[in-house]
Amino acid sequence: MRRSSARWLVRLAAIGFVVPISGSPQTEPSFVPPRTPDGHPDLQGIWQVVNTAAWDLEAHGASLGIPAGLSVVEGGTIPYLPGARARRETNFEHRAELDPEAKCYVPGVPRITYMPYPFRIIQQADKVSFAYEYLRTIRYVYMNGNPHPPGPIEWWMGDSRGRWDGDTLVVDVIHFNDQTWFDRAGNYHSEALHVVERYTPMSPDHLLYEATIEDPDVFSRAWTIRMPLYRRQEADAELLEYQCPAYLLDQEWDNPDSPIFHEE
């Protein structure tokens, strides 16, 4: 199914029906982003992706419940080490039961950015906060040269330290555990994961999001994903609630074969 879907996308691209979108979104001519009181670009607002990266970062065809999508990986494919790709394929074959996000675990970085739920950016002089609708997750990016704490530390969302590169917010993230995936397709990492994110304002209503990923235990080289983030336009836009564990428990209560009805 997966290989035939990929071949289908290649055929469409060859005859011109699929236009690659791996390049950067277009910047508005002479766009100058608004500024916060401390002079940095104002990235505040509610943002959301419009893509299928949460299902698969690479190009994939449609299946029941999963829309087709183009690759958001620079160069198209993820550069696995030879021995690591086999585990990725096993993850894919058993994704329904193995994907940590399907068990309502925190998705990690960068996956939480392109989950199909909005998030809010809040800026202060000493930190930039990300409030995600999914699981009410809060992430703090500490600024002003505040260094990473000594490790090793195994955190679901890693430890985030930020700086400004012109108008781009650059976030360095380390200290991960190995319990998250990049997508539902089984792309994974080890505790050696290092992510560098870049948030660049391109117009009043979209940011360019880039994440460069390094993990010498899994990948042969660093690789980058790239996608636009769109500002939610509703006048009453706000973060609502997605409490995955509660919904999962509801499903268990509806299933008479669930372990919660049986003693060990």
Residue range 54-74, pLDDT digits in tens: 999 999 999 988 999 999 999
Examine residue 260 and state whether it is found in any structural domain, yes or no. no
pLDDT for the residue 244: 86
For the cut 70, the answer to whether the pLDDT of residue 22 exceeds it is no
Residue range 183-207, pLDDT digits in tens: 999 999 999 999 999 999 999 999 9
Q: How many domains does the chain have?
A: 1
Examine residue 148 and state whether it is found in any structural domain, yes or no. yes
pTM: 0.85
**Which residue from 6, 190, 186 is spatially nearest to 90, judged by alpha carbons?**
186
Examine residue 83 and state whether it is found in any structural domain, yes or no. yes
pLDDT for the residue 252: 53
Supply the mean pLDDT for the chain: 88
Examine residue 27 and state whether it is found in any structural domain, yes or no. no
Examine residue 242 and state whether it is found in any structural domain, yes or no. no
Residue range 217-262, pLDDT digits in tens: 999 999 999 999 999 999 999 999 988 877 777 665 456 555 434 4
- What band does 117 get if pLDDT is binned at 50, 70 and 90? very high
Residue range 78-94, pLDDT digits in tens: 999 999 999 999 999 99
Examine residue 256 and state whether it is found in any structural domain, yes or no. no
For the cut 70, the answer to whether the pLDDT of residue 11 exceeds it is no
Print the domain residue range for 202.
2-21+35-234
pLDDT for the residue 248: 76
Examine residue 137 and state whether it is found in any structural domain, yes or no. yes
For the cut 90, the answer to whether the pLDDT of residue 24 exceeds it is no
pLDDT for the residue 16: 41
